[in-house]
Structure formats: structure tokens, C-alpha cells
């Protein structure tokens, strides 16, 4: 059996359910506790920004000693827990910010075109972060699928531009930044190989980390979208029979006892 050295979990819909029904993931915290000396390094790999994850850790009353050693936030930034506080990882976050500033200049016209198309052809809302156009919130899953098809066609002309989708939310990004890239960077820093890495997620934005070449131990809870279930099954992973925390722990139990 290959012990799990690094554990990358999505947050909403994977580690916990969805707001307003989120509960402390006690079964997962118990699993970590039971790992004893084999306790893996835990990383939350989420689309939420760091302040939002901190708010959730506190509101859900996850004990400080159990907080993840690493958080990848906004599907691009990385933070390391040091002395009870999350510090931005350098030079990763600075390079990430620079890449996105450069991208915003390069795709200025594409962004204007997207805003125009969205306004004309959808009921979606354009989203802004620090006054910059950052994404779109569709009014339904069907509309989000239509927006995906539109963007796929447009991106052929802008090779650095990509998008992370979570349910009806889209966030534009540089193609080099996603959950898989963040996980690979943390692997490098903690000295964990893909063979020693477990990754679990439920939606489109998790797909870049749910790849056998990124993490050999793949999983998703039963509530994952069909595309994620297919990716996990295709990568030899475990599609759990339960939702959220229970599904995550089910997969961890299977991988940590496999071959024993």
C-alpha cells in the first residue's frame, strides 16, 4: 500500500455540503486524527478566496490544530499555515497576480465581447473582482452549459485564456493556473509525488486536479457531476456511494486500507 502523504480536498460539495447547510466535517477530522503518525499533509483546494475559507473554518468551528497546512484559493493562489495564520506563498502568488494582470491586458477585447454576448444572449450576471471583470454567474445550469459552449469557441483565439466553472459560476483565469497546478506546486514543496497524493472534488473546477498524472488516488462524493464521476472512474479512482464528508471519508478508508 502507498500511504497518502498529501491530501487535496475541494471544500463546498466535497469536504462539506453546501451553505446554508454546512456542518463541521467531523468524520473527516476523526479520520485525520486516527491516521496518527501516518497523518497526511492536508490541503484545501477551493474556488473560494482565502478570507472566505477562513470565515468557514471559524464558523464551522474546525479546531485550529486541525486546520489544513495549505490552502489553494480562487483556484490559483496558495497559502501556507504558519503560526496560526495563512501566509501567501512566494513567489507563486506574486507571479500568479502578474500573469493575470498581463492576461487582462491581452484579452481586453475578448472580455468586452464576452460582456456584450452575455448581455444580449443570456440572463447571466457579469461578476467583478476589485473592479475588474472576473467572471459570470449564469441564471441556470442550462444557460451555464450554453455559456461554456460559447467560451470554448472563443478561447481558440486566446490561448492563455481559460475559465474555471463551478455550478453556474465562471471565473476567468490564465490557463496555467488551476487546482491541478496548485496541487503540483504543493507536491513539489512538501516532497510528495503524485503516487502519494489523494485528490477529491465534485465539480468542473476540480477536473484539473482529478487526473491520474496529478494524483494517483482520485475520489469524488456521489453528488459529483457526471463529468467528475467519469474522470475519477477513468483515472482508477473511487466514486463514493455517499455525499460530501461521508463520501470523502469512504474513499479515504478505501485508499488507506488498499493492499493491507
The site for Mg ion (CB under 5 A) is made up of: 10, 12-13, 202-203
Nearer to Mg ion, 12 or 143 (CB): 12
Count other Cβ atoms within 10 Å, centred on residue 86: 21
Smallest gap from Cβ 18 to Mg ion, in A, equals: 8
Nearer to Mg ion, 77 or 202 (CB): 202
Nearer to Mg ion, 10 or 143 (CB): 10
185: cell is 506546486
Nearer to Mg ion, 107 or 248 (CB): 248
Smallest gap from Cβ 228 to Mg ion, in A, equals: 9
142: cell is 442550462
Smallest gap from Cβ 191 to Mg ion, in A, equals: 27
Residue nearest to Mg ion (CB): 13
The b/e string for 162-197 (b: 16+ C-beta within 10 A; e otherwise) is bbbbbbbbbbbbbeebbbbbbbbebbeebebebebb
Strand 197-200 to 6-9 pairing: parallel
Count other Cβ atoms within 10 Å, centred on residue 49: 16
73: cell is 484559493
Smallest gap from Cβ 182 to Mg ion, in A, equals: 15
Beta bridge partners, 12, equal: 16
Smallest gap from Cβ 106 to Mg ion, in A, equals: 29
Nearer to Mg ion, 114 or 228 (CB): 228
Amino acid at each position: 500500500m502507498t500511504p497518502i502523504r498529501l491530501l487535496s480536498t475541494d471544500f463546498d460539495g466535497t469536504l462539506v455540503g453546501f451553505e446554508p447547510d454546512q456542518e463541521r466535517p467531523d468524520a473527516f477530522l476523526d479520520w485525520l486524527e486516527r491516521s496518527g503518525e501516518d497523518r497526511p499533509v492536508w490541503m484545501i483546494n477551493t474556488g473560494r478566496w482565502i478570507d472566505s475559507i477562513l470565515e468557514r473554518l471559524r464558523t464551522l468551528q474546525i479546531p485550529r490544530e486541525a486546520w489544513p497546512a495549505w490552502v489553494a484559493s480562487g483556484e490559483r493562489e496558495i497559502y501556507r499555515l504558519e503560526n496560526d495564520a495563512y501566509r501567501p506563498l512566494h513567489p507563486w502568488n506574486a507571479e500568479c497576480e502578474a500573469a493575470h494582470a498581463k492576461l487582462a491586458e491581452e484579452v481586453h477585447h475578448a472580455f468586452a465581447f464576452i460582456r456584450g454576448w452575455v448581455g444580449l444572449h443570456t440572463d447571466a450576471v457579469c461578476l467583478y473582482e476589485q473592479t475588474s471583470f472576473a467572471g459570470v454567474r449564469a441564471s441556470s445550469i442550462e444557460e451555464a452549459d450554453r455559456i461554456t459552449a460559447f467560451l470554448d469557441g472563443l478561447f481558440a483565439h486566446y490561448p492563455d485564456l481559460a475559465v474555471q466553472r463551478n455550478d453556474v459560476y465562471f471565473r476567468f483565469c490564465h490557463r496555467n493556473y488551476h487546482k491541478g497546478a496548485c496541487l503540483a506546486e504543493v507536491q513539489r514543496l512538501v516532497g510528495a509525488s503524485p503516487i502519494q497524493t489523494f485528490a477529491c472534488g465534485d465539480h468542473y473546477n476540480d477536473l484539473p486536479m482529478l487526473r491520474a498524472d496529478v494524483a494517483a488516488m482520485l475520489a469524488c462524493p456521489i453528488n459529483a457531476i457526471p463529468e467528475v464521476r467519469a474522470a475519477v472512474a477513468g483515472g482508477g479512482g473511487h466514486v463514493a456511494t455517499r455525499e460530501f464528508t461521508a463520501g470523502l471519508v469512504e474513499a479515504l478508508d478505501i485508499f488507506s486500507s488498499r493492499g493491507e
